Structure formats: C-alpha cells, structure tokens
C-alpha cells in the first residue's frame, strides 16, 4: 500500500468547492488520460483511462464511489478496477477547511494498492508513476476549480452596478 498526500488553496467559498468535488460530471474529467466517463448516479461513476508504466501500456476500467463523511467538510472516493491483468484499489480522502481570506483549503490523502503484472515491474517505478498520476489528478482538480473561481469573479464584475464600472 502506497500513500500520497497534498493540499491546495482555492479562492472560492467552501460551499462552491464542495458542490464541485461532489459532482461526478465535474470531477470525472479531472482524471488523467481519461478515455471514457459514464456517470451512474450522484455518487458513482465509471471511467476508462489510459495507463502507461515503463514498457507496459493499456487501459484500466475503474469504478468510483463517493461517500460523504461530513457534509461540506470531508468525503472519500473509493476507486477500484483494473486492466492488463492487474488491479488497483485506491481510497482518497478529501477534507475542506476555510481560509482567512474566504477561500478554501483542500487537503487530500490517497492510499493505493496495485496488484498483478503491473505491480511486478518494480516498486520504485510503480511508486513514481502512481504518485505522478495521483498528483496530476489533484493538480487538474485545482486547475478546474481555479477556472470556476475566475468565472465567478468575471460574473460578479459583469453584474456590478453600471455606475460602478469605468
């Protein structure tokens, strides 16, 4: 089992970040190398992703389930699946907290276990690739949330009273 973790701050209120991270239609596209996304419900979706570890390349089918542990504070994503005769089992925990300037800090931790031929490629190679994919996922999530923040700021500017614009 490998553990990866990190955090980032976004200039959006916690309720907006929560609405984003609990929406499979918005979170799904943040998955690196996503080939296909099928949203089953508000808490479940399936994805097909392209995976490459060293000389081994192929597709993984993943099933993801969101569990809210405390509304607008924490949630867990359970990700299971496999491909190329290998399996993956991950549990990601997301925790939100307010920042002093009205933004939100998102702390994340991901525990991952990989089995099968892909796992036999060597611990260091697997560890580096899994870390890179996990960090890219949360980096993509941060960028998507930043985009939402910019849209909110632009909308607020457009709806300001006409006399206040120059």
CATH number of the structural domain spanning residue 142: 3.30.530.20
Q: Residue 133: inside a domain, yes or no?
A: yes
Question: What's residue 78's pLDDT?
Answer: 94
- What digits encode the pLDDT tens for the residues 17-60? 999 999 999 988 898 899 999 999 999 999 999 887 767 788 98
- The pTM for the full model equals 0.80
Query: Mean pLDDT lowest for which of 12-16, 42-46, 105-109, 150-154?
Result: 150-154
Q: Which domain holds residue 27?
A: 2-156
Residue 165 pLDDT exceeds 50: no
Q: Whole-number mean pLDDT of the chain? A: 85
Q: Residue 50: inside a domain, yes or no?
A: yes
Question: What's residue 163's pLDDT?
Answer: 52
Q: Residue 166: inside a domain, yes or no?
A: no
Question: What's residue 142's pLDDT?
Answer: 86
Q: Residue 125: inside a domain, yes or no?
A: yes
| Mean per-residue pLDDT, 154-163 | 55
Percentage above 70 pLDDT, the chain: 84
Q: Residue 67: inside a domain, yes or no?
A: yes
Q: Residue 162: inside a domain, yes or no?
A: no
d(CA 163, CA 86): 62
Q: Which residue has the higher pLDDT, 84 or 18?
A: 18
Q: Residue 25: inside a domain, yes or no?
A: yes
d(CA 164, CA 73): 36
Residue 121 pLDDT exceeds 90: no
Q: Residue 161: inside a domain, yes or no?
A: no
Q: Which residue has the higher pLDDT, 47 or 153?
A: 47
How many domains, the chain? 1
d(CA 13, CA 92): 22
């Amino acid at each position: 089992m490998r553990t990866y973790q990190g955090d980032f701050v976004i200039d959006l209120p916690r309720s907006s970040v929560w609405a984003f991270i609990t929406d499979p239609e918005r979170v799904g596209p943040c998955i690196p190398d996503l080939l296909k996304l099928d949203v089953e419900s508000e808490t479940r979706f399936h994805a097909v992703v392209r995976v490459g570890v060293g000389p081994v390349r192929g597709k993984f089918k993943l099933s993801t389930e969101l569990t809210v542990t405390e509304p607008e504070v924490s949630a867990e994503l359970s990700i299971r699946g496999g491909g190329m005769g290998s399996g993956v089992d991950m549990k990601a925990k997301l925790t939100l907290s307010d920042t002093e300037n009205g933004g939100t800090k998102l702390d994340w931790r991901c525990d991952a276990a990989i089995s099968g031929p892909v796992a036999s490629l060597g611990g260091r190679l697997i560890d580096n690739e899994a870390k890179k994919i996990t960090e890219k996922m949360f980096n993509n999530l941060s960028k998507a949330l930043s985009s939402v923040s910019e849209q909110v700021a632009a909308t607020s500017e457009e709806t300001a009273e006409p006399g206040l614009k120059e």
